A and B are shown apart, each in its own frame.
Chain A
Amino acid sequence: DVKVTQSSRYLVKRTGEKVFLECVQDMDHENMFWYRQDPGLGLRLIYFSYDVKMKEKGDIPEGYSVSREKKERFSLILESASTNQTSMYLCASSSITEQFFGPGTRLTVL
């Protein structure tokens, strides 16, 4: 079974803090993604990566950066967390034909 894991299920941070969300997949997939999901807005793509050290902006990259130093690991960084970044963050990994999600990190920024 494909396994995508995320470093935290729940996280509470303060405004201005730097936040790291880690994602690891064990299926040797080249493509990895970070989304946020908010009520009424669905899944919105923040960044994706199709290879090590490669990254592409998604629909809402502002306020975020990413790092892909190893194939299995894709990190999302909030340089200076703000309250409007309170959300559910979902990492995903995909083969050519299917996308699999991690369990999500529910981030609250106070």
Chain B
Amino acid sequence: RKEVEQDPGPFNVPEGATVAFNCTYSNSASQSFFWYRQDCRKEPKLLMSVYSSGNEDGRFTAQLNRASQYISLLIRDSKLSDSATYLCAVNTGNQFYFGTGTSLTVIP
């Protein structure tokens, strides 16, 4: 079983739409959770950490559900510039485990 499972998409949404991504993780001892953004042919860059209480950064909201072992990312009022691949990541011990990424294309 994979450490982290993520729907690969692709998600194609119109500008202004709200879109949500989810990931599930298998190890209940996982300690930290993240969302990364990766543009085409670039490295992943940290978008935001995910806290149990949920956290928001502008149009982006991240949630963690430890009981069900999933994390989510909500993007409101999508912009063309949001088009990218979004990867969830889980930190367990010294290692980070990544989902395969969900591709998002925002259409004019």
Contact = CB atoms under 8 A, between A and B. Distances in A.
B42 interface: yes
Interface in A17-34: 31, 33
Given A90-B43, A98-B34, A102-B43, A33 B100 contact: no
Nearest to B43: A101
B94 A42 contact: no
Interface string A93-110: 010011111111010000
Given A98-B46, A100-B46, A48 B94 contact: yes
Contacts, number: 42
Main secondary structure of the interface of B (DSSP, over half): strand
A41 interface: yes
Interface residues of A, number: 21
B100 A31 contact: no
B96 A99 contact: yes
Contact of A41 (B43, B49, B100): B100
Interface string B33-55: 01000000111111001000000
